[in-house]
Structure 1
Amino acid sequence: MLDANIKQQLKTYLQMLRHPIELVGSLDNSDSAHKMEELLLEIKECSDKVTVRLDGDHALRPSFSIAKAGETGRVRFAGLPMGHEFTSLLLGLLHVGGHPPKLDADVVERIKGLQAPEGGLEFQTFISLSCHNCPDVVQAFNTISALNPGFSHTMVDGALFQPLVEQRKIMAVPAVFKGEQNFGNGRMALEEILAKLDTGAVEKEAQKLSQKGEFDVLIVGGGPAGAAAAIYAARKGIKTGVLAERFGGQVLDTLGIENFISVKETEGPKLVAQLEQHVKTYDVDVMNLQRAKALHQVGDQLEVELDNGAKLKAKTVIVSTGARWREMNVPGEQEYRNKGVAYCPHCDGPLFKGKRVSVIGGGNSGVEAAIDLAGIVKHVTLFEFDTKLRADAVLQKKLYSLPNVTVILNALTTEVKGDGTKVNGLVYTDRATGESKQVELEGIFVQIGLLPNTEWLKGTLELSNRGEIVVDAKGQTSLDGVFAAGDCTTAPYKQIIIAMGEGSKAALSAFDHLIRQ
């Protein structure tokens, strides 16, 4: 299972184990079970602090638990934690083995202080091994389970447990269940999970934030533009804060990046980790998982009001809230969101193995999604509103070479159909004839561009007819002392590297504004 290089790295990491651990496999006669047994034995070879038993009786087979010797395992993997999930396995081994997680002391105390009902709380996270958002959720719940004996967690590979996926009506990952009840869908950071488990956390956090002093520059948004702005501002020696709904923003959902100058290729989550590390080398107050609600001018100060009620004051503000996937806004889309309507083919594609799906959008994102899905699903139908595809020629050539792909041009999607629990079709209008047609399918992947996250600024800043913040050449908005950068603005060409440049420019403009006051 593991090559020599990975085994050597594993041996090095497992030297950090502080006490013995036991891997207990609950296996069957499947090929996956044989591979799992091989994996467990290879891990055992890497440390004398690891023992293996193969007589587990857990209902999910194949699966294995990681336990402190003499205890019942609270961290379990139902499926082979390879690919993106290999890090989840490694951290699970270390944390159960007593190696402390890289968390602030107050976060560790919050985890240990969580109260579970008698008998404990059991969570399951359904994942796909190609999902780059899933590991964060798996690792968060594993950490909670390793530190607090009242909680347990199982990673479930949806592709390996299809009947259970059908039973739970799971159409998108990551999907988290607390017992039999849905707990949450999509990417969730540890702090967000703790907020849901600790009912008093929101009020406490709001009070803590409101007590912060005035910032010289407060950056709202933690994507590439916000991160660049933070670095440039902090290097000027001024008090800098970053308020982010999720640090990294849309880049976290981007798999392959091949046009970031000087870096031949990378992945979104990796780039975000590097951005966060760079920002934290400076004296920047990063306030993650916080959503801005309104921007006010109070006398000579600017004030950002948050969803949780907190209010932050600043001399200047840089808005870099980015954008999100644009929705079709047709009947049935919201009803069947995560029930067949999806926005991330890399994450959710494996759940539609052997099924018929569609992709909405003929740009690069849509065509790339159709090409990726064609290798997994039975058939892909790509719908494009225009009379021609807008993707690069090389992508179009690849798309048209695939035997299980149909392209329908000049098509206006008008409705998502379903049986009440999941998608079973899509209705579109042929724009040339006006005829309404229906296609039977089980999944719809929407890839039609981005929508700026600026609704909270309506009536405060000047916005374009597309909802973008109107900025001048220096990033200045219509409100004195407020600047903006990145995908939420009228700056053309929504690219990571351009957003970084615009964020840097906005920070320099904010500094220039401060020294002239």
Structure 2
Amino acid sequence: MLDDTLKAQLSAYLERVTQPFEIVASLNDSETSRDTLELLQTIVGLRSDKITLKTDGQDARRPSFSLQRTGSDTQLRFAGLPLGHEFTSLVLALLWTGGHPPKVEQEVIDQIKSLEGDYAFEVYMSLTCHNCPDVVQAFSLMAILNPKVRTTVIEGGAFQDEVNAREIMAVPMVYLNGQVFGSGRMTVEEIVGKLDTGAAAKEAVKLSNKEPYDILIIGGGPAGAAAAVYAARKGIRTGLAAERFGGQVNDTLAIENYISVLETDGPKFAMGLEAHARTYDVDIMNLQRAEQIIPAAQPGGLIEVKLANGGSLKGKTVILSTGARWRNVNVPGEQEYKNKGVAYCPHCDGPLFKGKRTAVIGGGNSGIEAAIDLAGIVAHVTVIEFADQLKADAVLVRKLNSLPNVTVHTNAQTSEITGAEGKVNGLRYKDRATGEEHLVPLEGVFVQIGLVPNTEWLKGTLELSRHGEIVVDARGATSVSGVFAAGDATTVPFKQIVIAAGDGAKAALAAFDHLIRSAG
């Protein structure tokens, strides 16, 4: 199951286990159970002085296993085989259960431990989902730190009947006490903030009391991170407030065109962005959504940014790097069936449509890459492209055309996503050449039609293009003095990670130049 190299790495990690605990497995005669037992026996064999294995578990989900620290009431269970992207989650759970401290701020740890109530979480994930590990690890940590939190991590592929019964069509999907708690990527800070209702008000006061920054950056994607590094290196007071550090990079699977990095994935790249920014004296304020910017009342005055939690931050200059999000197709049925057959991340949710019929709306690179990936999992893929030809790179189009279970419709306008009994059952499109309407029966629709800038909150404050992008000059300056912008939220052509990072650095240098000239 694990090769010698992986066993050696795991053995080194397990040396950090300092407190004894036991693994209690509930098994049956399935192949997955046999694989689970083999994995657990390997783990115990590498650290038998601290970890013991019992196979007499009575849990209804089989295979499953719990991690139980000796003398503790911790309640963490994995149902299915946590390999693929989730192997790291299992390793961390083993280390945390065995007493190794998590790399989480002490303030968050204290919040978790102080949660009152009865929390039974069920976290559904897939082994190919790159957004799932953060969610799995967050709820695992909560169960280990607080006995009032019970977490069961469920691999959807091993419990397909359960997934179908609950009509789960997107992962990660989280239930709390039998009711939907949330879906999609969530950090432990977000989860705790949602449970601790008084946390937002306390955080707002804390943020409002911060001293003004020389450069205040709003947004933590590649542009914001680069701006933070370049600003902090100047030795000036730098703050960065982000709704989600890493931004849309977190939702990107393969990154193969960032110069000098041959290949990486989005979550790993996002972690690198944050780690680099934290090596400098940058005040990072994550999970903060900006709602209003108030320009300085006079030249050289402070610019204020109001936050969704009621707090506010001030800066002598501000760099806006709020990025973009997936564009909606805006047809009947899209919102109604979101996460019920309508999805936006083929890497995360594709395995849930195994053997089913799906469609991809969009014929650009992201759409064709999605169709190629899905074709290896689902029964059939229909590609719907508005233009009269696919816009993806030729190499991708050739690959797509070689696949036997893909149909392409160009010059086609999606008009409706249909459904019944709460889930998708088809897609309607119009042939733009003939005007004829067509209905494609299917179970899943993946929307891949580009980006929309996160700038609605800036309307009426500074100049935006007709597409909602922040208008910037060659130095990243906006129409408001002291306010700069960078990345996918701006009018810069070609929305690429490497371009966003470069523009973030440029905006920081321009803001620093503005500070010098203003002081003079």
Equivalent position of 2:379 in the other structure:
378
Alignment of 1:52-451 (within 5 A): 52-71=53-72, 74-116=75-117, 120-299=118-297, 300-451=301-452
What is the one-letter code of the residue matched to 1:506? Answer: A
Q: CA deviation at 1:340?
A: 0.5
Q: CA deviation at 1:72?
A: 5.3
Name the CA distance, whole Å, in 2 between partners of 1:155 and 1:445: 25
Deviations 1:140-181 (A, max 9, x none): 011111011111111111111111111211110000001210
Q: CA deviation at 1:491?
A: 0.7
Equivalent position of 1:492 in the other structure:
493
Q: CA deviation at 1:96?
A: 1.1
Give the match's secondary structure for 1:170: coil
Name the CA distance, whole Å, in 2 between partners of 1:403 and 1:73: 49
Give the match's secondary structure for 2:294: strand
Query: Any stretches of 5+ residues in structure 2 without a counterpart?
Result: none
Deviations 1:194-252 (A, max 9, x none): 01111111111111111111011110000000000000000011110001000000101
Q: CA deviation at 1:73?
A: 5.2
What is the one-letter code of the residue matched to 2:32? Answer: S
Deviations 1:311-336 (A, max 9, x none): 11111000000000011011110011
Deviations 1:248-280 (A, max 9, x none): 001011110111101111111111111111100
Q: CA deviation at 1:103?
A: 1.5
What is the one-letter code of the residue matched to 2:18? Answer: R
2:6 corresponds to 1:10 = no
Equivalent position of 1:19 in the other structure:
19
Please tell me whether the aligned partners of residues 430 and 437 of structure 2 are also in contact (alpha carbons under 8 angstroms).
yes
Q: CA deviation at 1:298?
A: 4.2
- The root-mean-square deviation of aligned C-alpha atoms, in Å, is 0.9
Name the CA distance, whole Å, in 2 between partners of 1:514 and 1:72: 55
Closer/same/farther in 2, CA of residues 73 and 24 from structure 1, 3 Å limit: farther
Name the CA distance, whole Å, in 1 between partners of 2:72 and 2:306: 47
Name the CA distance, whole Å, in 1 between partners of 2:339 and 2:77: 25
Q: CA deviation at 1:87?
A: 0.9
Name the CA distance, whole Å, in 1 between partners of 2:74 and 2:281: 40
Moved over 6 A (4+): none
Deviations 1:76-125 (A, max 9, x none): 11111111111110110111111111122211111111112xxx321011
Give the match's secondary structure for 2:484: strand
Once structures 1 and 2 are overlaid, which stretch shifts more, 39-48 or 159-168? 159-168
Deviations 1:431-488 (A, max 9, x none): 0111111111000000000111000000011001111100000000000000000000
Give the match's secondary structure for 2:67: strand
What is the one-letter code of the residue matched to 2:338? Answer: R
What is the one-letter code of the residue matched to 2:161? Answer: P
Q: CA deviation at 1:70?
A: 4.8
Give the match's secondary structure for 1:369: helix
Deviations 1:381-405 (A, max 9, x none): 0000011111111111111111110
Say how many residue pairs are matched: 514
Give the match's secondary structure for 1:37: helix
Give the match's secondary structure for 1:159: helix
Please tell me whether the aligned partners of residues 73 and 147 of structure 2 are also in contact (alpha carbons under 8 angstroms).
no
TM-score norm. by structure 1 comes to 0.98
Equivalent position of 1:511 in the other structure:
512
TM-score norm. by structure 2 comes to 0.98
Name the CA distance, whole Å, in 2 between partners of 1:69 and 1:482: 56
Name the CA distance, whole Å, in 1 between partners of 2:310 and 2:74: 40
Please tell me whether the aligned partners of residues 65 and 73 of structure 1 are also in contact (alpha carbons under 8 angstroms).
no
